[in-house]
Structure 1
């Protein structure tokens, strides 16, 4: 493209120089020739007037070349023809082409003035040389301008091509570089917008992958434990019971996958329903009881029973699973799930007897990649996103010991039964 721009600019300049240069040469040649002819004519008129004056003053006066030599230019030739007298010649008669002028005097004399055409040719050549020098300067200037303009246009195109190649190779960083050319700046704007969209899409995909791996890990672990129980027992009733629980885990896995896909398409889409909170809490207690038993710890629940909430049961179960798993990994002692009512909301609190959350973490505990120990750091962030997607919220009420609370919208008329506690070990 650079070469084409330079060639096209140079071609335009050459055409312009050819058209105007030829015209200028013709005009200058004609002007120089006309000026030479006028000079010769003027000298012939002046010379004939001098001869007339001398002949009229004294007709017998001799007309000589020495008398008139100072009146004729050194490069010219003059011949004076007087009837009855010898011709008077001044200067050297030129060879070749000449520019000639002839004048008749009142006394019958004839004056002929000639100038070599080579003098005109020399002057025309000098003019052509000047025109050629100007044309050459114009061509050089045009080439320099074309090179600069080509660089101004091709360099941005090269940058834009590199940006597009980076986008294709998975580097979605926008350049935010502009070139002062509206059309190229428009392309740069589009590429930067595309880079930002690609970055958002990649971030969403990575987040979906991280969320999926984290949310699927717990049901898969529980399913694995149930299958191990099945392999270790010969009791048909136990096998049947464990298989039923395993099927429940499979349903949870299916629910998690569907929810992840739904959120990836549109995070605002939800399937909130009114459900019995006790069933979800009991389900989580049953799922996590073997893991806590293996760790020599207990998990209990207490608070008001018979509460109903408006949310997605699967999402609430995943939030509680994240909090229970967090207490298992980072907490200590007994983990307690407590349900209560505040205003028109139902609350599920999860607490343990461990050292709590470090003070320097504070509210940042819900940020992705923030973890008190060597873990992924996305569990609580995913839990908060799930809670907010259902119109609820997840908060940390206390740092030491850690107390997390899940706030959900209560169903109309939620009152529950008496606040008699129930403990499950």
Structure 2
């Protein structure tokens, strides 16, 4: 912004100087030339009068006196008489550099006064140089004022940008900075009011998360202990043990989510998205969901490239895959296929089923909150997309019928490490 302000001010100043300076230079040069011509004409007229007076007085014309009275002039005087007389005074000027004026009286006296045009041109150049110097000084003053004004405007704007960035990162402290510019002060006041409101909202949300975490932790811990006892003491068919183990894993995952909520409420740093095995997370989820698909008479397959690694958090990645599998189980049909592959910039995990797909009117807003086509809460895909974005990836619907969802994660390497959550 500072550069644009300086350049625009300089352009305006240059245009103003040109619009004023160029006509002024032309007028000044013409005035000097006209003044020199008028001076020569006046000298010629005076000489005619002096010669005529001398003739009336029958006095001789003194060339030395004329040269003394009109220095740097080449003067030609012609008088009538018997015989006619001619008088030359001064040094002759070459015709290409000569500037002259004539005068003639009624009794036949003719006078021509000539001077060197170079002297007039030197005077014109001197005046033009003075105009150029004044124009340069005006431009320098304009640039100086533009620098001062740009600093006065851009520094407060940079400060406001830092305040807004701090608000976006979760630091909701009002700055109370004022800059003496009415418009910028109004913006600062609005940011301060927004910071106060955001601070109140964050405080209430942290208190809610803390209360919810403490209230849910106890029943979840009891549920985990009971399920562990069931698995340890069970001598029933394998299906009971399988379901119990899956329930334990699910309860432990829910407990981990609550720990993350509690850490966020206490403003602790979230875990970094780290390189992890895509196969490990997918096999874990398929193992958990395969019994449910088997009971529904449907298959669950894992295909595509193996050994891929992506940047993600274990909880976020697993929750996104779990949401997609649950949606396929509830709203899809046929065999569900999880396919992995590596594109140019992403590790892609596709979840596809063989059902009737997503209605055309629902597809554009399938990721919007509270939008559901099958009696659900309308929150699953919204939260799944948010979790994917938090890991630096994205979740997209790439085909409507039959439905195919794709999770794009960044390939695992040290240059692509990302941080989820506020620092």
Q: Give the TM-score of the pair, scaled to structure 1.
A: 0.49
| Largest Rg, 1 or 2 | 1
